[in-house]
Structure 1
Amino acid sequence: MKKINKGILALIVAVAISAIDIFYNGNGYSQLLLALAASFAVFNMPAIPDKLNKLPYSKLILFILNIVLLVFTFKHKVLLVNMLLLSYLIWSAVTPFFQKFKSFLPVTFLMCFVAVYAASFLGFSVPLFIFVFYPVYALGVLTHEKNIIKTPKIWLFAFLNLAGAAVLLVLFMYKALGQSVLSSILFTNITKLGTVTAVYLPFIGLFMAWFAASGNLIFHMLTSGFEKGNTAFDLSDYFKPVFSFISFFVFVTVITFLCEYSIRQEIKATITDMLHPNIMFNILVLCSLYMCLISLFGKGISNVLLSIVAIFLTIANFIKFTYFDEPFYPWDLYMFKNLIGICKDYLNIPIVIAVLVILAGLIFLLVKFRKNVLSYLKPGFNFVIMPFALILFLLNANVLADYRLSVQVGVQRSWYIGKAEILANGMYAQNYYYLTDLEKYLNPKPDDYSEETMQAISDKYPASVDNSVTASTVGGAVKSAEKPNVIAIMSESYWDLTKLNGLSFSKDVAENVHKYQRGMLAPPAIGGGTANTEFEALTGMSLYFMSPGIIAYNAYLRTETPSIASVFKDNGYSTTAIHPNGGWFYNRDKVYNYFGFEKFYDVSSFDMNTQTKGPHISDYALVDKILETLNSSDKPAFIFAVSMENHDPFDNKYSSFDVNVESDQLNSSQKSIINGYAQGLYDADQSLGKLIEELKKSDKPTLLYFFGDHAPRLGTLDDYYSVYDKLGAKQDSELKQGIGELKYYTTPLVTWSNFREMRSFSSIISPSHLSYEILKDAGVDHPNYFNIMPQLEEKYPIMHLKNMGLVDPDDELVKDYRLIQYDLLFGNKYLKSGN
């Protein structure tokens, strides 16, 4: 029987599929079948008898004719036969040169991937057939007229590659067609691809080339008896590069999945989102970074570096979303030492033991296999990968920087960052924005900041005429001319639980709060972030001008910063801060000193054996400490206290209860949380009543302020809004003021005095307004910048990141306020002592 020439067969196949391509318009999958059939012709092109070499300039003439034909048909439909001929002429010219290099075949797949992605962003249409099918041609060249060494391992290797490529190709084809971004995958006439197509097309091209190469190789092995074969081709030489290729994408996919899971915290949702355009783009971002690292340091070091970053981001985001329902920000590194303090309440012995066992195991393996580890981490510079890595990296950077490109895949830089943005943009794209905008987040210098501007602002807001202390008959015969003692208590997680529907209480958990309440605050956080409410109340500054996630104490405060404590100190007061927790938490042991507090009593000033209720120092013990401090001062006193008893978790917190809460709408776990929280509220309220009764006995004029730092987490750590949402809250005041979306943020404000009438606040206000109110009530001299607060309260009683629409950022009043804040936090503090 006459032997069949595969080159002639390839030509026949090429003509046939070209004819089909001309007269048949099918869907993506029929086009896929045509493309795979074309791959047979491509694979066997090296076997086509080359008669053209005998004719001078024949290939050049044929190349020019094909270019003319391509231009002529370009706006209509590029003919497959045209692309086959054009590709063959180019490939046959460049392959003899490239074939000299050892990494020739693996690099063709890399070239296919990067070239297709790069072509997607060109401003004109590019036929990608030449790039996508070159790996198939390259494999055909290597195996032409060679017998393949066939062993069980070779067959298994070939079929596993075919199966893996088939699954991935179908998966990406299905997703790409579902996105309506791909009508043909013959890669002959792709027009105006756009970013959405671009994130799918390189993978489709890569997996198609992989599948076509594997399929043609198996067919070649099955029919190798037709070949004369004077040399042997050992496919096992490609085990390692193929494994590296597979491990590259597996590694990228796994760490992307882990990072995305940490912000979604649902396996199903994460799996579903993995092939969405935004996450596909994030995978490409990580691919480019990974390739750059490999080209610079080698694969071992790159794997370790990316693993550390991915593990860190995964854990950090999981913790932030669990505790604060927001992502990890780069500036959260300032809070790293607080992580231990936050987590210790939730750690248990099995978790600690498991962590220690894992660490011990890792240390043992590192020591035992240290030679292997050092060999694995041997650095190396890869000249071959470097240009592809740079191209991919620069393309991704361009997409991230160009709104017109990034928005197509749902990735964009936002004026507001938080949970919604990182879910939309993906972990790596969003962290790119964090890092590139880091200076803006940490030090937003206004353009018009200067000493002259600040002096003008100081002159613009002189002291008002109602700054004096007004006597009344409230406290009896207290002298109004005497400087009053001032006590401010910020109660941990204090929120009015009676606002929830469907709850019945055995007794009033807020008896004294309801009796003396004069208004409501809208703290800047919920469920956590105590220090930010504290920052606003003590300084008169606002979190409105800061980026979401910022803890001012940790990110900003490194030098002396004016506060009402420093103002009272300048007016001859003793200034004391009390907080029965670790002084290092939120850097309070340093920040209070910067604020002008002369003394700070942390948990070490209390007795953990006799003064606790639940796991923390009780509110009754805190009140005792306040009274002790007040009575020991020979000067008028300013005392700022932050309670600790009512800190979460609330489940199984107390062994006995003074109050019981019932609800037929909650499950047993939620009831346990509510009962624990209600007990803490009751203790805070009763201790407040005790303090007021003691102060009534004093002949010293006294001002008292009591408020909650934020609403609590009522539910499990990963679902602490469930109770709020299930029961619903009474929100008459919030709706009246048009801030219904802040209904879970508002906390009660209690003010009391034994010598004057205290003001009732008709509007819900931000904690920042308390600072001026306290200074005004006390009648002390204060820097002029505080005098901006009455106008701000009248026009913008609430400045909150969750409701930016309440404030006009172009208002001169708001601009002045921002300049004041910049000067005191980041600038030269021109206003620090200006009166």
Structure 2
Amino acid sequence: MHYNLKKAFTYIFRYLMMPVLLEIIIESLSRKSLISGIGYMFSSPVLFSFNALIIMLTLSVALFFKREIFVFITVAVVWLCFGVANFVILHFRVTPFSAVDFTMINTAISVSGHYLTVLNVLMMVVAAGVLGFAMVSLYRRAPKHHKRNHKHIVVSVMAVASISLALVFMKSSSGSVQALATNYTNISEAYENYGFVYCFTNSIIDTGISEPDDYSEKSVKKIVNKLDDSSKNQSKSKNSDDKPNIIMIQLESFFDVDYMKNLKFSKDPLPVFHKLCKNYSSGLLKVPTVGAGTVNTEFEVLTGMRQRDFGVCEYPYKTVLKSTTSESVCNDLASIGYKSHCVHNNNATFYGRNTVFKNLGFDTFTSMEYMNGLKENLNGWVNDDVMVPQIIKTLDSTQGSDFTFGITVQSHGKYDVDIEGEQPIKVTGAKEGMENQYTYYVNQIAQVDNMIGNLINRLRKRNEKTILVLYGDHLPSLDISADELKNSDLYQTQYVIWDNFGLKKLDKDMAAYQLYSYVLGKAGIHEGLITRYHQQMDWNSNSYLSDLKTLEYDWFYGEKYAYNGQNEFVQSNLQMGTYPVTLEDVRKNKKGYIVKGKGFTDYTKIYFNGKSLEGYKIDAAHYQITDEIDYDADEGYMSLQYAKENGIVDEDIPNAFIAKVEDKDNVCLSAGKPLLWNFTTLYLD
């Protein structure tokens, strides 16, 4: 009897007290304060209990294993690791840790060098090694149940069922627990109010767009029939040559620092931007993220769809857009002859853009791997001045009108860097301990402002009608609170629309998903269902957002009733680089072989017979090969036409040179047309 009581007490402590202890630790890490973590237990007892019950349910899985102690501790360690990961992530960005971060591992690794020192990485490796060793030792040493009788299984099932019923009851009866049944607008506040465990679990379960209650062909057609499509073909009546070039630039972590109540500057850090806002249409822009999550703002701007209609913390770039095409500003403009380009001074695979942009209808994508003259700031991000000539190049690449989407990175965090020397702009009024970060950030966006001025000067010299849209993707990760802002909103940046043909100035606040249709409307363009929806519907009506969600669901997850059941948008044949890398000739020189061509950068590699040759770029037109080249006389000559007709891939064509562009991880982004040995100077020699 005494043994059974002791065993029962042990189970009660393990499965009741441990979840409570874990919840206190996790919430303390989330709030960066033990006192705040304990305070959450008393200030929000129902939500605290609900979070603890979720942990309890996951721990109770151990009841069904012979190695119960090992499984129990493993689950507990996983929760602790999640709590620590959230604690670390919150030091680098405002958005908390969520399930979607597991899909962003490659992206996180690619930018880790901007945030972590070698010592940080070493400590993480050591910690992971120690944890791994401890878990292996635990597996070997932990006790194991040799028999599981029916009574134990029944008790285990009843325990799990009871916890599940308790969760269901609390979810259905508590108004505070029901709060996350609908998407929330501030993820950070949701984690703070409703608890990390609850929100993190919800981010696992809640993905995609939920089906509207009244979804049917009739309900979709009702929305579509509200739209006047008489303007649909107006923009087709003229050749695209008569339409303006449209440039939209997404400025990384950019916002008007004059909105900070207490900051003072030795001189105006944004003179160009302020002058533009005074003379051209501008306003506040509601964005779906703060401190991080650039591509969710990007998604809204390019598609006209709301990111918050998707799952909690979801990145559509990492889910549905990886495999599904979509209506977008690119696809809408393509129908009237526009060509669409993207210019981004960061690596092409960041957020999987080199794949997603095919589904959004871009024709070309010029990432940093296709640029020369790259210079980095103290934080290792490429300076934005390289964007100007690359954007101009896209406009020169076609005869008709162009849509160019620029994505900058210079003002990206982190901002706690060692500033070298006295900065041009002195910043005062920053929070204690943040003076260095604000000084660095303000001087970075001052350089971005200068880039904007240079671009506008270049555009003014061109004899082409042009619209330039500038906007910030989100506030910087500078621990800004809403009460520090004049507009009191962490989810607002600013936009401005410059033009060179006299558009009327009209200041208007809007959301990121309304921006592109608004700009197209000013240009007299009304192509696309989503475009016309935003242009014609009352943004303040009760059905505006719900009907938009219905259209979004219909395209991505429904029957495409709005498009008569047809997939109107096909994947584009995305060309990497505004112009492809080309080879023209190869000849011998004293160092080996000199290659003549176009578009060479530091990311260009030359292959021969499928083998990568050692060498280096001299300039954009010349590449030095230092390897020996082994001509295979037995293979001889094969024409490109023969290879094409017989399905032979370029890499297998014998005695052929191929120029490839590869990123820093040796991922091949593109390969140029093969140059046969017989068509080079080497053959004549």
**How high is the TM-score relative to the length of structure 1?**
0.60
Counterpart of 2:333?
568
Matched-pair contact (CA < 8 Å) for 1:490–1:709: yes
1:821 matches 2:552 = yes
Pair 1:687–1:826, CA change in 2 (3 A): same
Q: Is the 8 A contact 1:298 1:382 kept in 2?
A: no
C-alpha separation between the residues in 2 aligned to 1:501 and 1:271?
A: 33
Indicate how the Cα distance of structure 1 residues 495 and 785 shifts in structure 2: closer, same or farther if over 3 A, else same. closer
Describe the SS at the equivalent of 1:488.
strand
Partner of 1:442: 208
Q: 2:424 aligns with which of 647, 659, 675?
A: 659
**What is the CA–CA distance in structure 1 between the aligned matches of 2:486 and 2:45, rounded to whole Å?**
41
* Aligned equivalents of 1:772, 1:618: Cα separation in 2: 30
1:523 shift after superposition: 1.5
Aligned to 1:262: 29
One-letter identity of the residue aligned with 1:484: P
Residue type of the partner of 2:500?
N
Question: Shift of the alpha carbon at 1:394?
Answer: 2.0
Q: 1:313 maps to what in 2? A: 82
Correspondence for 2:282:
519
1:457 matched to 2:220? The reply is no
Is residue 537 of structure 2 the alignment partner of residue 757 of structure 1? no
Q: Does 1:790 align with 2:525?
A: no
Structure 1 distance, partners of 2:485, 2:403, is 35
Q: Distance in 2 between matches of 1:377 and 1:592?
A: 53
User: Size of the alignment, in residue pairs?
Assistant: 552
In 2, Cα distance between the equivalents of 1:514 and 1:466?
35
Pair 1:637-2:402 in alignment: yes
1:713 aligns with 2:477: yes
Are 1:483 and 2:250 an aligned pair? Answer: no
Judging changes above 3 Å, is the alpha-carbon distance between structure 1 residues 690 and 419 closer, same or farther for their aligned structure 2 residues?
Answer: closer
Higher percent of residues as helix? 1
- Does structure 2 conserve the Cα–Cα contact (< 8 Å) formed by 1:612 and 1:618? yes
Report what 2:265 is aligned to.
505
Residue of structure 1 equivalent to 2:456? 692
In 1, Cα distance between the equivalents of 2:504 and 2:230? 18
Matched, 1:730 2:486: yes
Aligned-partner Cα distance in 2 for 1:451–1:546: 21
CA contact (8 A) 1:487 1:704 kept: yes
Q: Offset of 1:492 from its aligned partner? A: 0.7
8 Å contact from structure 1 (residues 496, 748) kept in 2: yes
Structure 1 position 539, deviation (Å): 0.9
Distance 1:358 1:657 in 2: 39
CA 1:686–1:398 in 2, change beyond 3 Å: closer, same or farther?
A: same
**Cα distance in 2 between the residues matched to 1:366 and 1:302:** 10
Q: CA deviation at 1:697?
A: 0.8
TM-score of the two chains, using structure 2 as the length reference: 0.72
Cα distance in 1, alignment partners of residues 135 and 379 from structure 2: 43
Q: How does 1:297-312 map to 2 (within 5 A)?
A: 297-312=66-81
Deviates more, 1:525-534 or 1:280-289: 280-289
Distance 1:593 1:315, change over 3 A: farther
Superposed counterparts of 1:19-168, under 5 Å: 105-108=2-5
Distance 1:685 1:813 in 2: 35
Q: Distance between the aligned counterparts of 1:653 and 1:705, measured in 2?
A: 33
Partners in 1 of 2:495 and 2:503 — Cα distance? 15
Cα distance per residue 1:177-234 (max 9 Å; x no partner): xxxxxxxxxxxxxxxxxxxxxxxxxxxxx6xxxxxxxxxxxxxxxxxxxxxxxxxxxx
Looking at structure 2, the residues matched to 377 and 583 of structure 1 have their Cα atoms a distance apart, in angstroms, of: 50
Q: Which residue of 1 aligns with 2:123?
A: 354
- 1:157-556 matched pairs, under 5 angstroms: 252=19, 254-273=21-40, 277-278=45-46, 279-280=48-49, 282-283=51-52, 285-287=54-56, 289-361=58-130, 373-374=139-140, 376=142, 382-383=148-149, 384-403=151-170, 407=174, 411-412=177-178, 414=180, 415-417=182-184, 418-423=187-192, 425-430=194-199, 438=205, 441-463=207-229, 482-517=242-277, 518-520=281-283, 521-556=285-320
* Structure 2 CA distance for aligned equivalents of residues 580 and 780 of structure 1: 29
DSSP-derived class of the 1:818 partner: helix
CA distance in 1, matches of 2:534, 2:458: 32
Spell out, residue by residue over 1:426-458, the C-alpha distance to the aligned partner (whole angstroms, 9 max, x if none). Answer: 4545555555xx25x423112333345434433
Q: For 2:511 and 2:339, how far apart are their aligned partners in 1?
A: 27
Q: Which moved more, 1:444-453 or 1:768-777?
A: 444-453
CA contact (8 A) 1:468 1:776 kept: no
Q: Which residue of 2 aligns with 1:670?
A: 434
Q: 1:285 to 1:413 in 2, by over 3 A?
A: same
Q: 1:377 to 1:624 in 2, by over 3 A?
A: farther
Do the aligned residues in 1 keep the contact of 2:50 with 2:170 (CA within 8 Å)? no
CA spacing shift, 1:109–1:291, aligned 2, 3 Å: farther
Please tell me whether Structure 1 or Structure 2 has the larger radius of gyration of its CA atoms: 1
Q: Which residue of 1 aligns with 2:387?
A: 622
**Cα-to-partner distance string for 1:250-297 (whole Å, 9 max, x where unaligned):** 754554343233322212222454577444564455445434423334
Change (3 A) 1:287 1:110: farther
What's the offset of the Cα at 1:696?
Answer: 0.9
- Greater shift, 244-253 or 384-393, is seen at 244-253
Q: Displacement of 1:512 after TM fit?
A: 1.5
CA 1:480 to 1:613, structure 2 compared with 1: closer, same or farther past 3 Å?
farther
Alpha-carbon offset, residue 328 of structure 1: 3.4
Structure 1 unaligned blocks of 5 or more: 1-103, 112-205, 207-241, 470-478, 715-719, 732-740, 797-807
Contact 2:53 2:163 in 1 (8 A): yes
> Could you tell me how far apart the structure 1 residues matched to 2:418 and 2:361 are?
35
